[in-house]
Structure 1
Amino acid sequence: MDRIILITGATMLENLSSVDWGILTHAYGKADDVPQLLRNLASHDEEVRKVALRSLYGTIYHQGTVYQASAYAVPFLLELVQQEEVQERESILSLLADLARGDAYHRQHMRIYTDEEKHDPSFQKQLEEEVFEVDCTHQAVKDGIPLYLELLAHQEVKIRTNAIYLLSYFRSEAAQLVPQLSTRFQYERDQGVYACLLYSVGILIKDQSVAYPDAFHLLEQSLEKGETDPIRVAAAMALIRTGSRSFSSRVLDVILEAIMHPETVENVYKELPWVEDGFLFEAVISLSQLPSSFHHSLVDPRLIDFLETVRAQDEETLDQIALDLALDLHSEMGLDPHF
């Protein structure tokens, strides 16, 4: 598939008919329904837009999987995001983020196949085709980076937030993106967007924080001098995401304090796209990724308190996955597993 280029200077979606959607496929077969779904995203009728978005989530992106038609739909999604008259563009940005991180069906479900099935030539061919579709889709979304960068200064908070979130999926472009995101800190006044900037910078410099000392220092400063709890917690989580072993134990203090008093951050965090399952779930994920240097006796009592807190929660955000992660962390710490 040729590289997909962002369409500009044309009437909205006028090039939809240039794609032969009938020969493309998505999760439920032929993709000939995609053009109308894309048009419906620009509808003035809220219900029509919602149905279209749900349908696209069931077709070109389905339970983490992307398909042949996905990459072809991306330029039109980008076109819609450019149009100020299109409503709920933040939702389209979220769909683009999901498409950027989408995977191949067979690769996602590798565990259900036998070794014999995995080595079958037809299986390998199908997997190769699916991975190609994944790569094409990711590249198509990446072609929109100039647009996402422009949206960092948009007046709508949700659009800024979702643009930042989307940019975090392009670690290969960190050299370009980290300086641009870092510059936005001096202009951003919304603490939720500020938190999202911190988190995305942490993801982009993962395993290469030494190459971005200014960005890493910015995370450390926000941890120590951040004006609000959500900002300090985001900085702590971002520092963990960098994979560095050089940050202070303050990261643990900040996260554990927020776990014990989640009301100080929940109102902000429930609006952030990278906290899909709630703040407490995200806290478990972060603690499970702490480097081994933090696993010492002085930390144990606070982790025990944390695990007891997790066990006591009834919120839907603390599903079995979160509890399993807590158990794994508990086991790694060498603590009594019967909490």
Structure 2
Amino acid sequence: MTEELVFDQEEVRVHGFELYEGTQLDVRAVISGMPKNVKDGFLLEEVAWSRFGHAYGSGHDVPERLTRLRSPDAETAGLALDLLWGSVVHQGTVGSVAPLTVPFLLRIAADPSAYGRAGVLGLAAAAARRAHWGYGTRSTFLRVATQELLCDCGGYLMNWSIEASRNAVTADVDLLLPLLDDADSDVRTSTCYTLATASGEAGRIIGALRARLIVERTPRVSASLVLAVAELGREHNVAGTAVWARALWADPTQPADVRVAAALAWLCLVNDPVPDDLRATLDVLVTDGLADVLDDVPWIAHVDDNGLDRTLDQMLNNALPGVLCDDPWARLRLCVAVPTHQRRDARPPAR
């Protein structure tokens, strides 16, 4: 494939991003035009990788990494996944090449024999949402995209990249929905986080998430199902989502993980003052044991190491958002290296 088209930052400064809108330098157009046989057959040579970029330059090296990610050798696949994470979604910045990886990442994750399927799905989800590290406020916690203009390391409009990734997720909903029943609870959790980014099919996805919630017995997954429903409801203005969330957190027959997740969801779906009965409910339900579980729910994990504490503090007490560390990248490395149960600090009260 010829790679003669080049994104020109100087031209954008003069004419704006509209210059490239709808062209083959608009990654949204490239994703929408990607043939199904290319995706299903992993015809990576048919994709214009070099036309787009990541944190370290051209995306020409992405197809080799995707190929290695499919390796039956865990070390080879694991290294490829690490390299993809470090480049196409670098420190929360979604590179313009990232959306092109999403259809292939989803197909790898759908293969039961693939390595690191939950992490592969997590990368697809990261390409399809605005990072919210340190932000657990009612207005930011369940926000997929943003109206604020954001650019990646190469000056490309990140809003387009996120939108393209969300469209790619929507196009492959049929691949993702069966993963809600996957035997691996980590895969089910990551599937929730990925499905919540979809730009369409909201009603169908919400129906599947709610159906799974009825039979789900793993607390981390149940909480993720609730938050995914709420995020889709908020993003797509689905009527009745807030009523549904309130009914869940107020229902004493529901498990604590569902009720706490529903309380967080409801707070993000309405502008009402925090009611006393919600505060009282959380005071009873939020224990160290529950927090150890919910801190690993993706939405909460991206707020802070002690994510549930920090999220509740921001939502209930209007605490200032932001990562409580001078070096957030050191904190993130610590989170990866040390198991959650070994990182638990003294827990402040929820109110």
Give the structure-2-normalised TM-score.
Answer: 0.67
Which structure's relative contact order is higher, taking Cα pairs within 8 Å and 6+ residues apart? Answer: 2
Q: For residue 275 of structure 1, what is the aligned residue in structure 2?
A: 300
Is 1:138 the counterpart of 2:166? The answer is yes
Is 1:32 the counterpart of 2:57? The answer is no
Task: Summarize deviations over 1:91-144 as a string: whole Å, max 9, x none.
Answer: 11100110001489x94589xxxxxxxxxxxxxxx8674443333233223322
Secondary structure at the counterpart of residue 224 of structure 1: coil
Offset of 1:36 from its aligned partner?
A: 1.4
Secondary structure at the counterpart of residue 289 of structure 1: helix
Offset of 1:207 from its aligned partner?
A: 8.3
Is 1:240 the counterpart of 2:290? The answer is no
Secondary structure at the counterpart of residue 43 of structure 1: coil
Is 1:169 the counterpart of 2:194? The answer is no
Offset of 1:280 from its aligned partner?
A: 4.2
Secondary structure at the counterpart of residue 84 of structure 1: coil
Task: Summarize deviations over 1:149-196 as a string: whole Å, max 9, x none.
Answer: 221122221111111121222376533332332222222222222121
CA contact (8 A) 1:24 1:68 kept: yes
> Which structure has the greater CA radius of gyration?
1
Q: For residue 280 of structure 2, what is the aligned residue in structure 1?
A: 253
Is 1:100 the counterpart of 2:133? The answer is no
**Gapped regions of structure 2 (runs ≥ 5):** 1-28, 132-144, 319-341
Partner AA of 2:264 in structure 1:
M
Assess, with a 3 A threshold, how the Cα gap between structure 1 residues 243 and 204 changes in structure 2: closer, same or farther. Answer: farther
| Counterpart among 269, 285, 299 of residue 311 in structure 2 | 285
Identity of aligned residues (%): 25
| Counterpart among 279, 288, 292 of residue 262 in structure 1 | 288
Assess, with a 3 A threshold, how the Cα gap between structure 1 residues 46 and 220 changes in structure 2: closer, same or farther. Answer: same
Is 1:230 the counterpart of 2:277? The answer is no
CA contact (8 A) 1:7 1:75 kept: no
Task: Summarize deviations over 1:189-211 as a string: whole Å, max 9, x none.
Answer: 22222121122222223388881
Partner AA of 1:228 in structure 2:
P
Offset of 1:37 from its aligned partner?
A: 0.8
Assess, with a 3 A threshold, how the Cα gap between structure 1 residues 107 and 244 changes in structure 2: closer, same or farther. Answer: closer
For residues 285 and 233 of structure 2, what CA distance do their matches in structure 1 show? 24
Assess, with a 3 A threshold, how the Cα gap between structure 1 residues 207 and 74 changes in structure 2: closer, same or farther. Answer: closer
For residues 70 and 280 of structure 2, what CA distance do their matches in structure 1 show? 46
Q: How many residues align?
A: 283
Assess, with a 3 A threshold, how the Cα gap between structure 1 residues 20 and 127 changes in structure 2: closer, same or farther. Answer: closer
Q: For residue 45 of structure 2, what is the aligned residue in structure 1?
A: 17
For residues 280 and 71 of structure 1, what CA distance do their matches in structure 2 show? 30
**Gapped regions of structure 1 (runs ≥ 5):** 111-125, 293-314, 331-339
Assess, with a 3 A threshold, how the Cα gap between structure 1 residues 211 and 11 changes in structure 2: closer, same or farther. Answer: closer
For residues 204 and 132 of structure 1, what CA distance do their matches in structure 2 show? 19
Q: Considering only aligned residues, what root-mean-square deviation do their CA atoms show, in Å?
A: 3.9
Q: For residue 25 of structure 2, what is the aligned residue in structure 1?
A: none
For residues 199 and 221 of structure 1, what CA distance do their matches in structure 2 show? 12
* Paired residues for 1:11-90 under 5 Å: 13=42, 15-90=43-118
